[in-house]
Amino acid sequence: MIIGLDVGGTHTDVVLLDNGGLIKEIKVHTDSLDLFNTVLECIERVTSDINPNEIERMVLSTTLTTNAIVQGNTPKVGMIVSGGPGIDPEFYRTNTHYYSVSGSIDHRGRRISPVDHDEIKTIGKRLRADGIQYVGITGKFSARNPNHELEIRKILRPHFKNIFLGHRVSGNLNFPRRIATTFLNAAVYPLHKRFFEAVRQSLDKQGLKIPIHVLKADGGTMSFESSIDFPGQTILSGPAASVMGAIAFAPEDKDVIALDIGGTTTDIAVLVKRVPILAPFGIELGGFKTLIRSLETRSIGIGGDSAVKVENGKLVIGPERYGFAMVYGGQKPTPTDALAVLGMITDGDQNNARQGIESIAAELGSSLDETAFMIFDQTCRFILNEVQKMIDSINSKPVYTVHELQEGYQVKPTEIMILGGPAPYFAEHLSKISDYEVTVVPEWKVANAIGAAIARTTCEVSLFADTERGILTAPEEKFKKTVKRDFSREDAIEKAYKLLKQKAIEMGADSEDLEMEILEDLQFNMVRGFSTTGKYIRIKSQVKPGLIHGYQAVARKMQ
């Protein structure tokens, strides 16, 4: 059995699955001020009367790191950045305690100028004086040669709790995004570490000695232990859970929209023949463009608990949320209260819901039922408008799926799949006001937790060979060796696959789930004096996102 847990802004969903389907589902109100106890309550409730020995693992999807970045609720960290000639790292300043330092390496990994040890020691003293405990270090071409980052870390290591290195975050060359990614890893580390320790203690309390996995932004998982060094990978895992929950039930022969309508936000994604679209350059969040690989999703500030108000005589819905809907004890009218007035929601305090919508009706000068319908209809039309914006944005550039670049492809979705608590109500109305076929995902209330539970472990490896210099390296993996001039592209692919398999298993993958492929395969000759002196080879490989072995059929059984 597997536990899947998705921490949302309004509710935390937890499911217990076996290879026959859904055994148990729990929905708990998320306490944003005490997420640790929220998770503990979920674990206690879903594992009650269950033999701990029958549970194989737990997969978490959490908004913790995402919210901390968006709200600016992260500790002070230091950043030390080495750019070298031709670029000023100041253009990419991430925070107050940011230092540009001397020393540089070129695009082939050759040292141009050395690290100034006295300069680094002085910066270290300043950071300690400012109470800094976590530091990020990034060099422009550290993905080709990490030695300067390692040298700076060696000088600083005795004086700080943890140090994060730019060459470990991605094998892609993008200096500004590498800086931002390193900074975010350092910034969210202490929060993520506390969360990990609390979850571990919660499981220990229940007698569950099981592996913990975390859902990543690309729809794959990694072991919780691995995530401690790369906490930025958990950013936007919530929307990824929505996508994976929809994939489990998506058709294989057409493009579809996946909508997860929650209490705080609505997450939108596009699936191309059951394959999610990838944001190839990385996440952009809180003003930071990163190298964190992510599914292409869009979160909009409208959901069941969005605040409804009247401004200048016009109805305005969201993006603010002031707690629960009035039907469930809140103080501000919401679209959920409109659903209660329209008779779609029959539990909770119906009088409270009517009072909230009546206050809006009085300002608009319309009847109670007219106002409730207007709120619901406007919410649906706003979501459809954002769906079209996303489709237009995707089609304005090359379409990447998690498997490949779809050259010249234009997405043309004909179906919307909805998950989330109010999914059935929205499905009926969206089908009336659009040309889409609208369906509700099976187990729509907890489909995101199901998606997290059955997602497989994913990872990438980038390998570089410079046969003129006799170097084969994968800095992300702490791998470097010498090669002969006859080292070939085929040799590089073979080595990339070996490194990928090793990395995936270390991150918690099952050897049966290693569906590997080559994402990038480049080779260039180096010519001097009209003769070839060597080859430059670049290989990028990945374990494809997908469903874990033994659970692929679970989704179909639940339909």
Residue 26 domain flag: yes
Residue 293 domain flag: yes
User: Is residue 54 classed as helix, strand or coil in its secondary structure?
Assistant: helix
Per-residue pLDDT, 388? 93
Residue 199 sits in the same domain as residue 285: no
Strand positions, DSSP E, 226-379: 255-261, 266-272, 275-276, 278-279, 284-285, 288-289, 294-295, 297-300, 306-311, 314-321
Per-residue pLDDT, 3? 92
Q: Which carries the bigger pLDDT value, residue 159 or residue 297?
A: 159
CA separation for the pair 31, 37 (Å, rounded): 8
Taking only the tens place, the pLDDT of each residue in 36-55 is 788 888 888 888 888 878 88
128-132, 423-427, 504-508, range with the lowest pLDDT: 504-508
Q: Which of 142, 157, 182 is the last residue of a domain?
A: 182
- Average pLDDT over the chain, rounded to whole? 86
42-56, 308-322, 433-447, range with the lowest pLDDT: 42-56
Average pLDDT over residues 329-349: 92
Per-residue pLDDT, 297? 84
Residue 226 sits in the same domain as residue 266: no
CATH for 60: 3.30.420.40
Residue 107 sits in the same domain as residue 36: no
Confidence band (pLDDT; 50, 70, 90) for 556? low
Count the domains in the chain. Answer: 4
Average pLDDT over residues 152-176: 90
Residue 447 domain flag: no
Residue 410 domain flag: yes
Confidence band (pLDDT; 50, 70, 90) for 380? very high
> Letter for the amino acid at 419?
L
Residue 108 domain flag: yes
217-226, 432-441, 524-533, range with the lowest pLDDT: 524-533
Residue 225 sits in the same domain as residue 263: no
Average pLDDT over residues 170-176: 84
Taking only the tens place, the pLDDT of each residue in 125-138 is 999 999 999 999 99
Per-residue pLDDT, 169? 84
**Contacts (Cβ under 8 Å, ≥6 apart) of 538:** 462, 463, 464, 465, 520, 521, 522, 523
Average pLDDT over residues 510-529: 81
Q: Which of 182, 205, 230 is the last residue of a domain?
A: 182
Residue 445 domain flag: no
Radius of gyration of the chain (CA): 25
Residue 368 sits in the same domain as residue 303: yes
Residue 450 domain flag: no
Q: What's the Cα-to-Cα distance from 371 to each of 261, 361, 362, rounded to whole Å?
A: 21, 6, 9
Neighbours of 116 (CB within 10 A): 15
Confidence band (pLDDT; 50, 70, 90) for 84? confident
Residue 349 sits in the same domain as residue 268: yes
Residue 209 domain flag: yes
The answer to whether 459 and 217 have CB atoms below 8 angstroms apart is no
Per-residue pLDDT, 232? 85
Highest mean pLDDT range out of 45-54, 244-253, 351-360, 476-485?
A: 351-360
177-181, 294-298, 327-331, 380-384, range with the lowest pLDDT: 294-298
- Angle at the Cα of 447 from the Cα atoms of 274 and 46, rounded to 5 degrees: 145
Taking only the tens place, the pLDDT of each residue in 15-32 is 998 877 888 998 888 776
Confidence band (pLDDT; 50, 70, 90) for 398? low
Residue 419 sits in the same domain as residue 271: yes
Q: What's the Cα-to-Cα distance from 373 to each of 131, 168, 273, 293, 366, rounded to whole Å?
A: 54, 52, 35, 40, 11
Per-residue pLDDT, 52? 79
CA separation for the pair 97, 131 (Å, rounded): 11
Residue 392 sits in the same domain as residue 317: yes
Average pLDDT over residues 267-279: 84
Residue 411 sits in the same domain as residue 532: no
Confidence band (pLDDT; 50, 70, 90) for 417? very high
Residue 233 sits in the same domain as residue 322: no
Average pLDDT over residues 448-458: 87
Q: Which carries the bigger pLDDT value, residue 514 or residue 131?
A: 131
DSSP string, 490-527: HHHHHHHHHHHHHHHHHTT--GGG--EEEEEEEEEEEE
Counting residues of the chain whose pLDDT is more than 70, the rounded percentage is 95
DSSP state at residue 53: G
Residue 140 sits in the same domain as residue 275: no
Taking only the tens place, the pLDDT of each residue in 203-261 is 887 788 888 888 988 888 888 888 888 888 888 887 888 888 888 788 888 899 999 88
Residue 356 sits in the same domain as residue 278: yes
Q: Which domain holds residue 175?
A: 78-182
Per-residue pLDDT, 487? 92
pLDDT at 71 over 70: no
